[in-house]
Structure 1
Amino acid sequence: MAGAGWTAPGVAETEAARPQRPRSVRAREKVLEATDALLTEGGLPAATIDAISVRSGVSKATIYKHWPSRTAVAAEAFGQRMSAALPLPDTGSAHGDFSTQARLVSEFYGSPAGAVFAQLLAASVTDPDAAVFFRAFFLAGRRRAIGELWQRALDRGEVDPDIDVEVAQDVLFGPLVFRLLSGHAPLTPELADQIADAALHGLLSDTARDR
């Protein structure tokens, strides 16, 4: 349940983007650090507002001043962790970059962090306010990063410029999320390579395909 003092933000107007006093900034940092530790220890069920407050030393009232719910706090903390865990590759080719990135994402989803991601995704379906934070701090950052890989490939003439980058990202990485959530197939490096190859066969330009 959202705190009484919290106002729903736009994706680009979250508390993190607003000027704040150093004390407020430090409180946010302590809350995010505590939440990340709780997620690592026990997933989303462990990251209750009570537990976050005790672990961080920040009052529940202050937490609710910055976030509408525990899922929103968890989404921001988890988004920061994934940004650090998945650096962008730079292999010099579209096929190398996207194949390497698919392997990294697959490995991440196949780790205990993947279970946390699935929990956050499911919780955001029934918590619209938290979904804003999930998109802003997790999805938006990942999609911007993959957009950099796509732009490199465009600059090298290796991908079809008529394909929208958003569509390309969904084709490349959507299957990994589906495998994580459905459990119908394992998340292995070999299968990540197969998914990337299948997607890129239709995404590479004729010039790159002939190389």
Structure 2
Amino acid sequence: MGETGGPRAPRGRPRSERARAAVLAAATELLVAGGVQAVTMEAIAARARVSKSTVYKWWPTRGHVMLDSLAHVTGDPPAGPAAGASLADALAAEAGALVRVFRDTAAGPLVADLAAAAQADPGIRSALDERWVRPRRAACARLLHDAVARGELRPDTDVAAALDQLFAPVYHRLLFGHAPLAEDLAATLVRQLLDGLGGDRVRSDEDR
């Protein structure tokens, strides 16, 4: 109670929020320092100075903790496409953001490490799909579905296959390193994708 007899005002963040932040920070430190193999629920709990049950309260697997901790590495998400942007420019903005995250931050090698570990760890595979892959595909899927509805793309466009065509080369370059994640990669991928899907009906702002 305070001097006036009323309840004390809370100071700082609630205890549960502080514990959650400590877990994410611990997972990030372990992941950056030792890779996927260093990140276990036991190691996370010990480094964050919380119980394992506290970690499991928010995350079902270590994969989910690691994927959420990537936000500490990548920073704030980039702004979406500008209002009124053409389909080509909007897709290039989304794909370009992924290229830059892989090329310019520690997330690149970490995602590559997670992708390799996912082949033998269902928890990591599920988390990678749920927290990393699907949100990025969903943003571009909306753009493609809207373009089909407007008549910019053929009505028989296979959106799932189109998304594979857009993103797969980025992951391929990340995983195998046979070619650089160049600044113009996203624009090139989008141009080739839309040439096949829409032909002359689709143009970026620069082409108009």
The TM-score with structure 2 as length reference comes to 0.74
Per mean C-alpha deviation after superposition, the further-off stretch among 166-175 and 127-136 is 127-136
CA shift, 1:23, in A, is 6.8
Q: 1:143 aligns with which of 137, 145, 148?
A: 137
> Mapping of 1:125-140 within 5 angstroms?
125-140=119-134
- Is residue 89–residue 101 contact of structure 1 (8 Å, CA) maintained in 2? yes
In 1, Cα distance between equivalents of 2:86 and 2:15: 45
Matched residue, 1:9: none
In the TM superposition, 1:193-208 aligns within 5 A as 193-204=187-198, 206-208=200-202
For 1:34, which of 2, 26, 42 is the aligned residue?
A: 26
Note if 1:105 corresponds to 2:113: no
2:165 is the alignment partner of 1:171: yes
2:68 to 63, 73, 76: 76
Q: Corresponding residue for 1:162?
A: 156
Cα separation, 1, equivalents of 2:81 and 2:75: 13
Residue 197 of structure 1 deviates from its aligned partner by 1.7
Q: 2:178 aligns to what?
A: 184
Distance in 2, matches of 1:29 and 1:188, equals 34
Does 1:59 find its partner at 2:51? yes
Residue by residue over 1:3-27, the C-alpha shift from the partner in whole angstroms, topping out at 9 and shown as x without a partner, is xxxxxxxxxxxxxxxxxxx876764
Determine the C-alpha separation between the residues in 2 that align with 1:140 and 1:31: 24
After superposition, residues 7-22 of structure 1 pair within 5 angstroms as none
Distance (whole Å) between structure 2 residues aligned to residue 180 and residue 170 of structure 1:
15
Match of 1:72, SS? helix
Change (3 A) 1:151 1:62: same
Structure 1 spans left out of the alignment, 5+ residues: 1-21
Label 1:37 to 1:156 Cα distance change in 2 as closer, same or farther (>3 A). Answer: farther
- The aligned length equals 190
Q: CA RMSD in A?
A: 3.0
Deviation at 1:155, TM superposition (A): 4.4
The aligned counterpart of 1:94 is 87
Q: Residues 119-146 of structure 1: CA distance to partner in whole angstroms, max 9, x if unpaired?
A: 1111111011232222221222222222
- Contact 1:80/1:137 (8 A) holds in 2: no
TM-fit CA distance, 1:38: 4.0
Return the offset for 1:175: 0.6
Q: CA deviation at 1:207?
A: 2.9
8 A Cα contact 2:36 2:117, kept in partner: no
